[in-house]
């Protein structure tokens, strides 16, 4: 009887221990999931803030002859991302905290109208001269490259190269001795490039360069071992394309600010610029009419400019029906 009671107690004890260990494991996994969700929100909000700061400058340098074109400031976008990320983790954006966050960012990119910028970790200050091993030197920082084009060549040995842009209305063409612009998209071995293929090429160009920079970082500094990943829709021609306008892409890895083990995340924040068809008001035979700006009569004087036909109607203009019809 005593032995049986001892066995029962032992089994019960094992059950309690297993239950306790399972609870500890569950709590740990739950905490990790919460931290991953927190990191995801922190990155997304910081990316959105960086994109807005990049665009909310005093001069966007918009060119209405180029669809989806305006000037961007990549450094402002990255600085804003880092500052907001610090606030999301309850840290004031001091130089020390900003440097800490930068250590978690192996690569970032800003996609602009006719090219992109890549920010990677570079050695900016050497504490001791170690030419044989620069990773042993002191200070590394995120540094942006010069703008790189969305380059396309029909074949690896082709003597003609193209530079795409997000407007997809024209293409910059480079031959051995000439640089000129052509209307529309370039030719491929299978015909004229489609808009979907052009956007996919822009995405693939950026993602491949980011992956290359990750490999370069791992070679230069053995203290970093970053694994690069981007959602499939960035790298396939058939998926939904998330980069159709100026965008900020940031890879954050190894964050251990509030978690028991390093966690990682990736975010894309972008914007889209749509062309607006302006409406003009004018007088014709004594009557006030409105029509789209590109279809107004050439022999009349434009009196007012409107964003919508509703605004023109409210201002007392009547529809010039023939010129409002789509061409």
Please determine, for residue 64, whether its predicted confidence score (pLDDT) is greater than 50. no
- pLDDT (average), residues 76-97: 90
Q: List, as one string, the DSSP characters of 154-185.
A: SSTT-S-EEEE-TT-SEEEEE-SS-EEEEESP
Residues 6+ apart with CB under 8 A from 148: 115, 116, 117, 118, 209
Give the confidence band of 231 by pLDDT, cuts at 50, 70, 90.
very low
Partners of 124 in beta bridges: none
Residue 65 is predicted with a pLDDT of 41
Whether residue 132 is predicted with pLDDT greater than 60 in this model: the reply is no
Q: What backbone torsions phi and psi does residue 252 show, to the nearest 5 degrees?
A: -120, 125
CA neighbor of 252 nearest in space, from 151, 116, 102, 115: 102
pLDDT digits (tens, 9 = 90+) for 236-275: 333 334 577 788 888 888 888 877 677 776 666 655 444 4
Query: To the nearest whole number, what is the mean pLDDT of the chain?
Result: 75
What is d(CA 319, CA 179) in angstroms, rounded to the nearest whole number?
45
Distances (CA, A) of 144 to 33, 116, 174: 33, 10, 25
Query: Which spans in 56-109 are helix H?
Result: 74-88, 95-102
User: How many residues are listed for the chain in this entry?
Assistant: 327
Orientation angle between helical segments 74-88 and 95-102, nearest 10 degrees: 100
End-to-end alpha carbon distance in the chain: 99
**How does residue 83 score in pLDDT terms, banded at 50, 70 and 90?**
very high
Q: What would the two tokens of residue 5 be?
A: 């009671």
Residue given tokens 């894309």 in the structure block: 268
- Where exactly are the structural domains of the chain? 28-270, 279-324
Entry pTM: 0.67
């Amino acid at each position: 009887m005593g032995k049986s009671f001892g066995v029962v107690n032992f089994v019960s004890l094992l059950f309690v221990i297993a239950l306790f260990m399972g609870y500890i494991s569950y709590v740990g996994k739950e905490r990790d999931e919460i931290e991953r969700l927190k990191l995801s929100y922190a990155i997304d909000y910081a990316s959105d803030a960086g994109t807005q700061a990049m665009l909310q400058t005093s001069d966007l340098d918009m060119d209405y002859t180029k669809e989806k074109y305006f000037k961007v400031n990549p450094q402002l976008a990255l600085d804003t991302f880092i500052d907001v990320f610090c606030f999301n983790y309850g840290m004031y954006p001091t130089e020390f905290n900003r440097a800490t966050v930068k250590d978690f960012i192996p690569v970032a990119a800003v996609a602009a109208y006719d090219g992109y910028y890549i920010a990677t970790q570079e050695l900016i200050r050497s504490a001791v001269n170690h030419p044989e091993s620069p990773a042993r030197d002191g200070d590394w920082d995120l540094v942006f490259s010069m703008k790189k084009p969305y380059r396309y060549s029909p074949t690896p040995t082709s003597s003609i190269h193209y530079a795409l842009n997000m407007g997809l209305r024209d293409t910059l063409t480079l031959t051995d001795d000439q640089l000129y612009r052509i209307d529309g998209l370039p030719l491929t071995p299978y015909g004229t490039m489609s808009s979907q293929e052009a956007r996919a090429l822009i995405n693939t160009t950026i993602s491949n360069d980011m992956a290359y920079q990750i490999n370069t970082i791992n070679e230069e500094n053995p203290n970093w071992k970053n694994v690069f990943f981007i959602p499939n829709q960035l790298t396939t021609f058939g998926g939904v394309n998330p980069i159709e306008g100026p965008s900020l892409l940031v890879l954050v890895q190894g964050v251990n600010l509030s978690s028991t083990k390093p966690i990682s995340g990736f975010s894309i924040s972008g914007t889209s610029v749509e062309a607006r068809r302006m409406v003009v008001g004018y007088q014709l035979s004594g009557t006030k009419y409105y029509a789209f700006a590109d279809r107004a009569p050439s022999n009349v004087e434009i009196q007012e400019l409107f964003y919508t036909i509703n605004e023109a109607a409210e201002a007392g203009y009547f529809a010039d029906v023939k010129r409002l019809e789509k061409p």
